[in-house]
Structure 1
Amino acid sequence: MMSPLVARLLLLVCLVLPLYGVEKCTGNDAEKPNCTRHSEGGRSAYLNNMYGSCIQGPAGTPGRDGNPGANGIPGTPGIPGRDGLKGEKGECISEIFEEPWRPNYKQCAWNSLNYGIDLGKVADCTFTKMRTDSTLRVLFSGSLRLKCKSACCQRWYFTFNGAECAAPLPIESIIYLDQGSPELNSTINIHRTSSVEGMCEGVKAGLVDVAVWVGTCADYPRGDASTGWNSVSRIIIEELPK
């Protein structure tokens, strides 16, 4: 690469040498054919035209970017768009917000109920049902006994406000006895703790009278029944989500 000093010397040579080949005109010599008159401005133009192809010096330092220009004038608003096509009718969705389920149960208990009836209500327990679409689970636990000298059958069952469960089916338990002890001229007399249990649907919300009854079996004679002898009997009621 050429140094700045050498470049300047070459530029000076390009400017000075042509002066020796040009005759200076003075006075009447201006009419001579080989005489060229130069003014101060004409001399610069002459040199630029004749020797503009001299070696170019090194490029200067690039200038800095100018300041950003001011924002232009805002454009005019565009033409409003047209309405789109009508959409299809949406589905109607209804949301149902329910309260969280809370346990609801009750227990009624008796010590030595000793109820000896053969037909009728044995015990009852009042329960407050919170929802109509819920299910009631019921349990009776206690001592049951049946005796007779010939075949007999007794039935223990639940009612809800005086009616047996219809959905899905009645809640019941039976004891059947074929015969007694002829050789001793007496009957078998065994008391056993037993249970009557099930679930019932379709009971409306509100106050419900839950009761245990004793009755006869179909097509069989009744015997001598006993409920809750010498032990604790209880009814447990629980409301369950459907």
Structure 2
Amino acid sequence: MFALVARLLLLVCLALPLYGVEKVRNRGYRKDPDADKLGSCLQGPAGTPGRDGNPGANGIPGTPGIPGRDGLKGEKGECISEIFEEPWRPNYKQCAWNSLNYGIDLGKVADCTFTKLRSDSSLRVLFSGSLRLKCKNACCQRWYFTFNGAECTGPLPIESIIYLDQGSPELNSTINIHRTSSVEGLCEGVKAGLVDVAVWVGTCADYPRGDASTGWNSVSRIIIEELPK
């Protein structure tokens, strides 16, 4: 009996310390009601944002990609050729005669040779001199230019005429007047090279010729000038 009581006392002595320790454990780990919201610890105020870090070093170059396919063929472009021409230089000539006094009624009066530099240019020609026509009845004479023996066709001939009507006894039908006149025009289509420019005298269509005179007692001249189109 005594042995039984001793054992019970021994068990009580061993159990009391364990009960105190468990109670202390439960008391030190009391659960905070806000633990589920803030975690196991209380959240403090936000700290100052940190500065950006230094840029990192370049990475290792990647491997070359797969070459792309050829694109669709484009439309054919326009061919534009640039033409660089030399600046235009004046090209002219003058032939002059003192007292030509040429009294023919049909034929060449005077000529002047000219070197034309371009085929796409034009020729401006001028004859200046004394012209006269005399007749008892109505008559007409024509002074005109030729280029290498042919009249201008670009666009039309270059000419000048004098017409004299039938006179009367009171006005003297054989009147003899010499006047300085001109024959002038522009001719296109004359090829480049040596050009024989000449002044001729002839008759007018459907009219009889009279007594013509060219360059009497005065200076006569032919002026030739090459002009760009």
CA pair 185-201 structure 1, distance change in 2 beyond 3 A: closer
Distance 1:31 1:130, change over 3 A: closer
Structure 1 residue 70: Cα displacement: 3.2
Please tell me whether the aligned partners of residues 10 and 55 of structure 1 are also in contact (alpha carbons under 8 angstroms).
no
Distance 1:112 1:5 in 2: 182
Change (3 A) 1:100 1:5: farther
Q: 1:175-228 CA deviation, whole Å, 9 max, x = no partner?
A: 011123435866011111111111111111001010001111111111111111
Pair 1:222–1:68, CA change in 2 (3 A): closer
Cα 1:85–1:14, aligned 2, differ >3 Å: closer, same or farther? farther
Q: Determine if contact 2:137/2:173 at 8 Å carries over to the other structure.
A: no
Q: How far is the alpha carbon of 1:156 from its aligned partner?
A: 0.3
Distance 1:212 1:12 in 2: 162
Report how far residue 69 of structure 1 moved: 3.7
Q: Per the alignment, do residues 185 and 94 of structure 1 end up closer, same or farther by CA in structure 2, a change over 3 Å counting?
A: closer
Structure 1 stretch displaced more, 65-74 or 3-12: 3-12
Q: SS of 1:128's equivalent?
A: strand
Local SS of the residue matching 1:22: helix
TM-score (norm 1): 0.71
User: Percent same amino acid at aligned positions?
Assistant: 94
* Aligned pair partner of 2:202 in 215, 228, 238: 215
Using structure 2 for the length normalisation, give the TM-score. 0.75
Quick one: structure 1 residues 203 and 145, their matched pair in 2 at CA, closer, same or farther if it must change by over 3 Å?
same
1:127 CA displacement:
0.5
Name structure 2 gaps, 5 residues minimum. 24-33
Larger deviation, residues 140-149 vs 182-191 = 182-191
Question: Does the CA contact (< 8 Å) of 1:165 and 1:171 recur in 2?
Answer: yes
Residue 97 of structure 1 and its aligned partner are, at CA, apart by 2.2
Q: CA RMSD in A?
A: 13.2
2:35 touches 2:41 (CA, 8 Å); kept in 1?
A: no
CA shift in 2, pair 1:151/1:88, >3 Å: same
Secondary structure of 2:170's aligned partner: helix
**Structure 1 range deviating more: 12-21 or 184-193:** 12-21
Q: Quick one: structure 1 residues 168 and 57, their matched pair in 2 at CA, closer, same or farther if it must change by over 3 Å?
A: closer
Q: How many residues align?
A: 218
Instruction: Tell me how far apart the structure 1 counterparts of residues 117 and 5 of structure 2 sit (CA, whole Å).
Output: 110
SS across alignment from 1:23: helix
Question: Alpha-carbon deviation of 1:98?
Answer: 1.7
Task: Select which of 74, 82, 86 maps to 1:99.
Answer: 86
1:124-181: CA deviation from partner (whole Å, max 9, x where unpaired) = 1111000111111111111100001111111100000111111111111110111234
Give 1:118 shift: 0.8
Q: Distance in 1 between the 2:2 and 2:71 partners?
A: 73
Contact between 1:129 and 1:204, CA under 8 Å: does it hold in 2?
Answer: yes
8 A contact 1:4–1:58 mirrored in 2: no
Displacement of 1:104: 0.9
- CA deviation string 1:20-60 (max 9, x = no partner): 99999xxxx9999xxxxxxxxxxxxxxxxxxx999999999
